[in-house]
Structures are given as structure tokens and as C-alpha cells.
Structure 1
Amino acid sequence: MRKVLTICILGLLSACTGKESENSEPKNILENLSYSVDTVVVDSKGEIINLKYGMNWFDLSPDSRSLFIYDYNQTLFQEIDLDKMVLSNTYQFEKEGPNGLGRSSNFQVLPDGTLMIPTFPNSGIYNLQGEILSRINLNPEDIKGVDAPNPFALIYEILFDPKTEILYSLPGDFINGVRDLAVIDSKTQKGRIVKLPKMEKAENFKIFWNSDTGGSIQTENYTLEQIDDKLLITCTVGSGIYVFDTKTDSLSYVDFPHQLIPREKTGEIQNEVSTEEDFFQELRKVLSQVSFQELIWDEHSSRFYRLAIKSFVAEKKGDPTTYETYLLAYDKDLKLLGESKIEGLDQRLSNYFWKDGKLWSYVNVEDELGFAVFTFNF
């Protein structure tokens, strides 16, 4: 009742102030952000949940009630009931043979409870008994209209729309770090590549070290998400996002008037280096700038939320990296609603998701699967 009364009073005030309200600056809803954190641990029922690689390969069910983790070493999926916080099922798959997954790591939980598992050359839709229901050909040489640099390119950030049987992914050159949008009809084996020019500046921030003594590469990360009939494409290089409307087959770009943090990375970066020392010197320049993470839709609040992270790599090898993390909020039409630094958070959140209006982030609790659950107040 108190919330309804507040809205009514605000409405009257707005009506009285007239043009003054119309011209006022939009309010930052996160201006007075505070939060609390609870740690919850999954009851594994005596089974082992392999955390050797953390929670690197996971997906949520469309209703956000279950979380699926893939154990690459044992080729099995484990289902976590997030409401009861218990390991509810383990599904054993095969790596070789007619139903074999091959070298799979990425996967997508579909609304009917099946899994879309993209591998090369064994991509397909599988049931939870490990049986392949239908094959999906992701060999670029067989798909008319798609030119990809290598056989694995189409698997990056791949999504399958079961209503249309259209596949979407972000292929690109691994070395230069630039991605495009691929739209593929899995039935006709026809597709096309859609360029993302405003994100091509990601190439300016790649760092490539290759020598006889070692090597490494740093590139910006892209993400692809589907919310109803819209695809959202983000890149850590800047705040702007591409929106691809799957109904109208149209692409648009949205940028945001961030005030608290820069909208994109800037500066000169040496893209190719010959020593490890030079690699880390350039890496510090890139990571100390803000990296915009993916937008995640929260059904509970009907908002998009996003994290933006600055990472400060220590000068001395072995010293810990420190972080600054920012929370950003947007409405359903991608209007910026607020931005705030998450004070006191000195660690990087990993493998996180939103559920019931709260941010859940993976933590290892004495080799048991756990989550730090953030409740934000504003």
C-alpha cells in the first residue's frame, strides 16, 4: 500500500510542476545503492560436482529454476534445483560413438528440456538420456552464404531458436578479435553474415604475444543473447549494443549516456609484442579501462542489468589483481535508468546470473558448489 501511495503522490507532483519536470535530468535509480550478500551451498547428495574448472560451462533452464553444469572430463551434465539448492539429476553422455559429443563444451538448454550441443562435426539436439534427436550441420563449407575463417568459427556464442530452427552465432577471426553476426537456417543450410562495424574497434585492443619462449593473446569478449524476438549483441570494448530484430530482420545500434564511467575504451595499444613483460604492460592498459559485460534480463524487476568491470593487474608478478565493479540498470526499451559503483566489492564476480531479482555468482565453498547471492537495495 505504501508503494502505491508514493506513486500517486509523485504523479500529483509531476502534474503540478509541468514543464520543469519535463526538463529535469533523468534520475539515477542506483544513486543510493546498497547491498547484502548471502552464501548458499548446493546439497550434492553425496555425489561429486567437479569444480576443477569452476562453473565455466553452464546454462539456465528458460524458467531459471534449474542450472545445468557440464563436466567435460566425464562427459556428463548435472542439474541443480535452484529453488531447493540440491543436485537433482545427473545425465551421462558419450564422447564417442553414434551419440558421441566429441570435444564439446558449450550447450543450450531448450524450453522442452532438450539440449542443443554445438560441436564440430557432431552438433545436434540431444535428450537428457544422451541420445541425439536431430543433427545440425555447422560446417561453414556446407552452408551457402556463410564464409567463416575455420570449421569452429560458427560455434562461438551460438544460439538456436527452436520456434524457427534458425541458428545465430558470432563468428570471426580469433587473432584480430573482431566478430560478425551469422544467421543460419538449419533446414535449408543457407545463411548470411551481418557486419557489426561499431564494434570493430575491438581490434585496436587486441594484444598478441608470440615467441620461441611462449605466447598469449588477449581480445575483447562478445556476447549474444536472445530475449523474445530480439538478439542483443555486446562487446566489452564499449557500452553500445546491437539489437537484431528477428521478425523484421533488421539491425540497430543503441548507445548509452553513461556519466559515471567512460562509454568505451580509448588510447593506443601495442597490438603485437615480443616479450612477456611487454604483453603484461599492454594488458594493464587494456584491463584497467572499463569492460562492459553482457546485459541480463531480470523478470522479477522487468529490467536489464549489467556489470562493468575495471581490472588492475599488479606490477609485480604473483601479486593479486584488484577490481572495481559497477552495476548498470536499463528498462525494457534499453533506456539507461541508473549506474553505481558496487562499493566494497574487491573480487571479480564469475559465472553469474540473475534470479528472482538477485545476482547469483559462483563460489567454491570448500570444494562444494556455492553461490554468493547479492540483494541490491535502491
Structure 2
Amino acid sequence: MINRRLLLGYFFGIGLSLLTSCRSEVVKENFSALRYSIDTVYIDSKDEIIYLKMRLYTSDYSDSDGMYYNLNNAANQVEQINLNSLELEKIIPFEQEGPNGTGFWTTDLKVTSDQQLFLGGERSGIYSLSGKLLQSFDWFAIEKENGGLLDEERIDYQTVNPNYPKEVFAIVINDKTNSVSLRHLNSSKNSIVIHNIDPNDNYRTYTLGDLSSYNNWDPLLYIKSINDHVIVSHEYANDFHVLYPLKDSLISIAYKSVLFESKVKPTTEGDLNNSIEDRKKALKSYRSQIAYGPFVFDNKNKLYIRLSASVIYGEKDREGHLLPEIASSTLYISTFDENFNHMLDQEIPELNKIGLPKYFTKDGAVWIYQNIDDELSFVRIQF
């Protein structure tokens, strides 16, 4: 069992191999707590252009069918990518208007169950792969006395959990107080429950710009639906929050690492006078310390996994990016058992210039998004 090996601190080797479709390993000796190998796979696009402008931010992997679903927001269609055969399977169109319409903008895509997707944005709902709306969620239909949103509040990101088909969860930002909370909408009860997921005021601490208006840059918060619960975490602090909807119970967890600090040291106070250059300088400082990614779950090894990275930026601008090209970065992997007990933090020295892109787990491996010459590929860390 890998958990036992991690706890006992066995010494393992590290392998590295860069391949196109099939995987092989070249093992080299290295005294480390976690044994892994690395390879790269490329996706056959079948002469189609896979949508990479959002760097797979609005996408999700389905364990049930081995498919990866990537939203092309510009065309309002979903690319279904077969990760077993490593090729584009098909493109699924969605309507913007009408009874099955998704609206004109979508910020979230989540796999809900076999052959169903959640799309969240202007209109939020669960859709079949034929584009039919199966369940809609209307946050603004809930009265304020039942937990409905205030005028100064807006939905940031949403998710659903297959165990609760009539419910949806969202990170909600209050622009007046520059605060954030977790909301739980139960369409059967026509009510919204509010949970505090920022007891340390991290959202306000790391916001840059005018704190009283939309003229600011706010930090990333991640919301993930895993197993029978929902996890909310922050890009600049390692504490995270786990909601168990069945019990309406929220727990908060923090941990210490011997490799990096538990949170980023702020360098710039958010106010109206922050120039664009001031903000960029602050972002560079924050991400050079540490930036945390979201939690994912490795079904094979029964581990929660979280990647994080410290990034040093160069001088050359990147098209479509706020900050320049990455000069170097240090990637870390953190593992937790099924009860969220922190097990280890470890550097992945082979991946020293990728920053912290989109990632997920499949078959005991972490798949990390890479754009190589405008073609979709993944670096895989196999345990």
C-alpha cells in the first residue's frame, strides 16, 4: 500500500521518460520519500483546433468514461477528449438561448455523473451530452430572507456534487466588504446556506487595487467537488475548508511544511493608488514565494494531492498572460490521506519551468496541462 510506504518513509527512485503515447521508465537512484516517474503524452486533435486560450481552466476529467471535457467558450461547445486513446473523440455543441440555453458566458464546467455535465455562468444547470438541460439552478430566484444574494454580491465559481443532484455550491464575493464566503443552494428547499471559508481574511489581504470597487485584482480561490464533500482553498495560503453537505458541517484545516511557508507574505497594500506596475510587482513577489493549486483525489492510491509552485519570471512578455515568461520554477507535490491528514511535501525537480498549470488525476498519475506549439499535451507524474 502506498500510504504505508509514505508513512514509513521508504526510499525510492525517480524515473524520467518523455514519450508521445506509450509510457516507459528510466529509473535513477534518488533518496526521496515518494517514488515516481514522468512522461509526456500528446493528444491527436483529428485536424481540429482544440481550444487552449483558457489553458483548460474550464474543463474537467471524468473517471467514469475516461473522457476529458474542455469548454470552448467562444463557440459554446465542449470538446470530448478520450484520454485512453489520446485523441479528440467529438465536439458537442450547446445552445445559448431557448429552453436548453446556457446563456452567453460560462465560467464553470464540471462532470456530474456519467454522460452529464454542469455548466455554470449566466445560466447554471446540469446538461446531458446531447445538450438538453436536465436541472437548472437560479441563484437570483432565492429571496434574501432565505439566504439570497445581496445587491453587492456576485458569484465567482460554482460546482456540483453527484451525491446531491438538486444542490449547487459557489464562492460568492461581496464587493462592498471585499470578503468571500461559500454558498450552498438547495433547490428542493429553495434556500441558500452561508459558510465562512475565510476566517483569516486572506481574500482581502491579497487583493490588489481599489478595495471598494471592481478596480482590483483578487486572488484565486478554488472550489472542488470530491467524493461526498466540497473543498475550498486559496492560492496564497495553505489552509483549506471542507464542507460535508449531508451534515451541513464545515471544517477548516491548516498544516505546516518544512519546504515552504504556510502563506505568502504580502508586499503591497490594496488601495486606489496601486499602479498596474505596482500590482504586477506584487504578483511576482507573491508567486515567487509560493502559489497553491486546488485539491485533486487519486482514486487508485486513495490520496488527496495538491501541487504548489514558486515561480521566477523573466523579462519577455507572453501573449495572453499578465506576467512575463517563466524563467524558472520549483514544483512541489503535497499528499494527504482520506481524512486530510498531511503526509508529505516533496519537490519535483525535473519540472523546473512549468509554473502551476491545470492538473488532475487519472489511474494513479497526476496529469499536468502543457501547450506545446499550440498542441494539447500532458506531463504525467506516475506513482
TM-score by length of 1: 0.82
Partner of residue 278, structure 1: 278
Partner of residue 20, structure 1: none
How far residue 193 of structure 1 moved from its aligned partner, in angstroms, is 0.9
How far residue 313 of structure 1 moved from its aligned partner, in angstroms, is 3.6
Q: 1:338 to 1:274 in 2, by over 3 A?
A: closer
How far residue 324 of structure 1 moved from its aligned partner, in angstroms, is 1.9
Partner of residue 308, structure 2: 308
Aligned AA for 1:290?
Answer: I
Q: 1:177-227: per-residue Cα shift (whole Å, max 9, x none)?
A: 6321111111232112111243422311211169xxxx9743222112233
The answer to whether the Cα contact below 8 Å between 1:297 and 1:304 also exists between their aligned partners in 2 is yes
How far residue 292 of structure 1 moved from its aligned partner, in angstroms, is 2.0
Question: Match of 1:73, SS?
Answer: coil
Partner of residue 50, structure 2: 49
Aligned AA for 2:284?
Answer: R
Moved more, 171-180 or 126-135: 171-180
Bigger Rg, which one: 1
Partner of residue 17, structure 1: none
Partner of residue 14, structure 1: none
Is 1:237 the equivalent of 2:236?
yes
Return the match for 2:336 from 310, 330, 334.
330
Aligned AA for 1:275?
Answer: S
How far residue 164 of structure 1 moved from its aligned partner, in angstroms, is 4.9
Structure 1: how far apart are the matches of 2:159 and 2:362?
23
Question: Match of 1:280, SS?
Answer: helix
Structure 1: how far apart are the matches of 2:156 and 2:279?
28
Partner of residue 346, structure 2: 340
Structure 1 stretches lacking a partner, 5+ long: 11-24
The count of aligned residue pairs is: 350
Aligned AA for 1:113?
Answer: Q
Alignment of 1:158-173 (within 5 A): 158-161=159-162, 163-173=164-174
Structure 1: how far apart are the matches of 2:232 and 2:10?
24
The answer to whether the Cα contact below 8 Å between 1:298 and 1:357 also exists between their aligned partners in 2 is yes
Aligned AA for 1:78?
Answer: E
How far residue 118 of structure 1 moved from its aligned partner, in angstroms, is 2.0
Q: 1:104 to 1:29 in 2, by over 3 A?
A: farther
Return the match for 2:380 from 364, 373, 378.
373
The answer to whether the Cα contact below 8 Å between 2:302 and 2:337 also exists between their aligned partners in 1 is yes
Q: 1:253 to 1:135 in 2, by over 3 A?
A: closer
Is 1:266 the equivalent of 2:273?
no
Structure 2: how far apart are the matches of 1:82 and 1:138?
34
Partner of residue 21, structure 1: none
Aligned AA for 1:371?
Answer: F
How far residue 29 of structure 1 moved from its aligned partner, in angstroms, is 7.9
Runs of 4 or more consecutive aligned structure 1 residues displaced over 6 Å after TM superposition: none
Q: 1:339-361: per-residue Cα shift (whole Å, max 9, x none)?
A: 11221422214121111111111
How far residue 57 of structure 1 moved from its aligned partner, in angstroms, is 1.6
How far residue 266 of structure 1 moved from its aligned partner, in angstroms, is 2.7
Q: 1:241-279: per-residue Cα shift (whole Å, max 9, x none)?
A: 212222221121111131211112234532123423322
Q: 1:37 to 1:278 in 2, by over 3 A?
A: same
Question: Match of 2:293, SS?
Answer: strand
Partner of residue 93, structure 2: 92
Partner of residue 104, structure 1: 106
The answer to whether the Cα contact below 8 Å between 2:309 and 2:331 also exists between their aligned partners in 1 is yes
Aligned AA for 2:291?
Answer: S
Q: 1:274 to 1:257 in 2, by over 3 A?
A: closer
Percent of aligned positions with the same letter in both sequences? 21
The answer to whether the Cα contact below 8 Å between 2:148 and 2:192 also exists between their aligned partners in 1 is no
The answer to whether the Cα contact below 8 Å between 1:149 and 1:172 also exists between their aligned partners in 2 is no
Partner of residue 180, structure 1: 181
Structure 2: how far apart are the matches of 1:162 and 1:243?
15
The answer to whether the Cα contact below 8 Å between 1:295 and 1:305 also exists between their aligned partners in 2 is yes
Alignment of 1:219-234 (within 5 A): 219-234=218-233
Moved more, 122-131 or 30-39: 30-39
How far residue 306 of structure 1 moved from its aligned partner, in angstroms, is 0.8
Q: 1:107-131: per-residue Cα shift (whole Å, max 9, x none)?
A: 22221412222233x3222222222
Q: 1:75 to 1:312 in 2, by over 3 A?
A: same
Q: 1:177 to 1:219 in 2, by over 3 A?
A: farther
RMSD of aligned Cα (Å):
3.0
Alignment of 1:132-211 (within 5 A): 132-139=133-140, 142=143, 144-149=145-150, 153-154=154-155, 156-161=157-162, 163-173=164-174, 178-208=179-209
Alignment of 1:2-13 (within 5 A): none
Moved more, 158-167 or 85-94: 158-167
Aligned AA for 1:193?
Answer: I
Aligned AA for 1:117?
Answer: L
Q: 1:156 to 1:259 in 2, by over 3 A?
A: same
How far residue 161 of structure 1 moved from its aligned partner, in angstroms, is 4.2
Q: 1:358 to 1:81 in 2, by over 3 A?
A: same
Structure 2: how far apart are the matches of 1:374 and 1:157?
28
Q: 1:284 to 1:177 in 2, by over 3 A?
A: farther
Structure 2: how far apart are the matches of 1:181 and 1:156?
10
Aligned AA for 1:269?
Answer: T
Partner of residue 130, structure 2: 129
Q: 1:241 to 1:155 in 2, by over 3 A?
A: closer
The answer to whether the Cα contact below 8 Å between 1:158 and 1:170 also exists between their aligned partners in 2 is no
Q: 1:80 to 1:34 in 2, by over 3 A?
A: same
Q: 1:157 to 1:375 in 2, by over 3 A?
A: same
Return the match for 1:355 from 336, 349, 362.
362
Q: Which is helix-richer, 1 or 2?
A: 1
Partner of residue 251, structure 2: 252
